[in-house]
């Protein structure tokens, strides 16, 4: 994963946005609806595997004033910290336009809404820390201020948990570690592709656990999650670079 560079991922992500914009609209709308429903109430949110992105937490920042972002790759963490200090080469506004329109669909000036959302995210994120879902504890707690320490009320993890897991047992173990970071009754929002064994950034190839939707749900049950709200969608790529079974969005509760 050290091979994963924030600027290359940013460029690739904008290509995906052009190719499968509907996937980002579906996922960000799902996140928006779950947080707006207040199904998982509280103050503290953790994002696992943020990359160097901010769009997946933007809707939640309206409800959770204390947010920790995390990622395995150093370049992502450093670049994300720069974005939070308004010193980043990366511009995520095209992605932020999606939650911006969900919050305010009347305004003519979407750039102004997006800019307000960027400020809200910068106010809410209290730390960007190293995480490894394959290691007990997952987070480097030394990097987290006391007010933002576990347990969390909600975890968001998008296009991430399948990435480092080599088999079903590994996936269940990662989910169990993540479960321990939540308070009882807290929630997790996940979204990714299923039945997919790899993804690419430019000419670099990265692994992904090939797992069915049924087995994802079984793993969630085994890891102590329940009350699943699952949505699944057929592959929607007009020119698919990778083979996959489709997309899913899942919100589950720590039992």
Ligand X SMILES: C[S@@+](CC[C@H](N)C(=O)[O-])C[C@H]1O[C@@H](n2cnc3c(N)ncnc32)[C@H](O)[C@@H]1O
Which residue number places its CB atom closest to ligand X?
51
Query: Which long-range contacts (C-beta less than 8 Å, at least 24 apart) are formed by 87-90?
Result: 89/7, 90/6, 90/7, 90/10, 90/52
Residue 118 engages ligand X in binding (rule: CB under 6 A):
no
Residue 1 engages ligand X in binding (rule: CB under 6 A):
yes
Instruction: Check if the beta carbon of residue 101 is closer than 8 Å to that of residue 31.
Output: no
> Which CB atom, from 173 or from 252, has the smaller least distance to ligand X?
173
Residue 139 engages ligand X in binding (rule: CB under 6 A):
no
Instruction: Check if the beta carbon of residue 6 is closer than 8 Å to that of residue 79.
Output: yes
Instruction: Check if the beta carbon of residue 28 is closer than 8 Å to that of residue 189.
Output: no
Kindly determine how many residues on this chain lie close enough to bind ligand X according to the rule CB under 6 A: 20
Ranges within 46-65 binding ligand X (CB under 6 A): 49-51, 53, 56
Residue 133 engages ligand X in binding (rule: CB under 6 A):
yes
Token reading at 160 = 């991430």
Instruction: Check if the beta carbon of residue 124 is closer than 8 Å to that of residue 68.
Output: no
Beta strand ranges found along the chain (DSSP E) = 44-47, 66-71, 125-130, 152-158, 182-194, 198-201, 204-207, 225-233, 246-254
Ranges within 181-210 binding ligand X (CB under 6 A): none
Residue 76 engages ligand X in binding (rule: CB under 6 A):
yes
Residue 84 engages ligand X in binding (rule: CB under 6 A):
no
> Which CB atom, from 185 or from 207, has the smaller least distance to ligand X?
207
> Which CB atom, from 1 or from 41, has the smaller least distance to ligand X?
1
Q: Is 46 helix (H, G, I), strand (E, B) or coil?
A: strand
Residue 173 engages ligand X in binding (rule: CB under 6 A):
no
CB count within 10 Å of CB 166 equals 10
Residue 72 engages ligand X in binding (rule: CB under 6 A):
yes
- Identify the residue whose tokens are 């085994």: 222
> Which CB atom, from 41 or from 140, has the smaller least distance to ligand X?
140
d(CA 130, CA 144): 10
Q: Is 64 helix (H, G, I), strand (E, B) or coil?
A: coil
Residue 4 engages ligand X in binding (rule: CB under 6 A):
yes
Residue 160 engages ligand X in binding (rule: CB under 6 A):
yes
Q: Cβ of residue 134: shortest distance to ligand X, in angstroms?
A: 5
Q: Cβ of residue 108: shortest distance to ligand X, in angstroms?
A: 29
Residue 17 engages ligand X in binding (rule: CB under 6 A):
no
> Which CB atom, from 96 or from 163, has the smaller least distance to ligand X?
163
Residues of this chain that interact with ligand X (CB under 6 A) are 1, 4, 49-51, 53, 56, 71-73, 76, 131-134, 158-160, 163-164
């Amino acid at each position: 994963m050290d091979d994963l560079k924030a600027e290359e991922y940013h460029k690739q992500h904008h290509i995906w946005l052009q190719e499968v914009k509907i996937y980002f609209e579906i996922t960000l709308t799902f996140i928006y609806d779950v947080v707006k429903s207040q199904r998982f109430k509280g103050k503290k949110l953790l994002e696992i595997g943020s990359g160097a992105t901010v769009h997946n937490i933007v809707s939640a920042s309206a409800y959770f004033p204390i947010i920790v972002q995390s990622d395995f790759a150093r370049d992502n963490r450093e670049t994300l910290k720069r974005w939070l200090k308004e010193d980043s080469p990366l511009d995520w506004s095209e992605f932020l336009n999606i939650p911006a329109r969900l919050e305010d669909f009347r305004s003519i000036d979407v750039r102004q809404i997006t800019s307000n959302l960027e400020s809200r995210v910068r106010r809410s994120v209290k730390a960007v820390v190293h995480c490894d879902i394959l290691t007990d504890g997952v987070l480097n707690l030394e990097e987290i201020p006391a007010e933002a320490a576990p347990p969390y009320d909600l975890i968001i993890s998008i296009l991430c948990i399948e990435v480092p897991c080599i088999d079903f047992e590994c996936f269940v173990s990662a989910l169990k570690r993540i479960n321990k970071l939540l308070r009882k009754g807290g929630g997790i929002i996940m979204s990714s592709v299923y039945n997919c064994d790899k993804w690419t950034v430019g000419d670099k190839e990265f692994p992904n656990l090939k797992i069915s939707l049924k087995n994802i749900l079984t793993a969630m049950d085994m890891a102590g999650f329940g009350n699943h709200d699952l949505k699944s969608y057929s592959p929607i790529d007009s020119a698919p670079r990778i083979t996959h079974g489709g997309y899913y969005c899942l919100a589950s509760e720590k039992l």
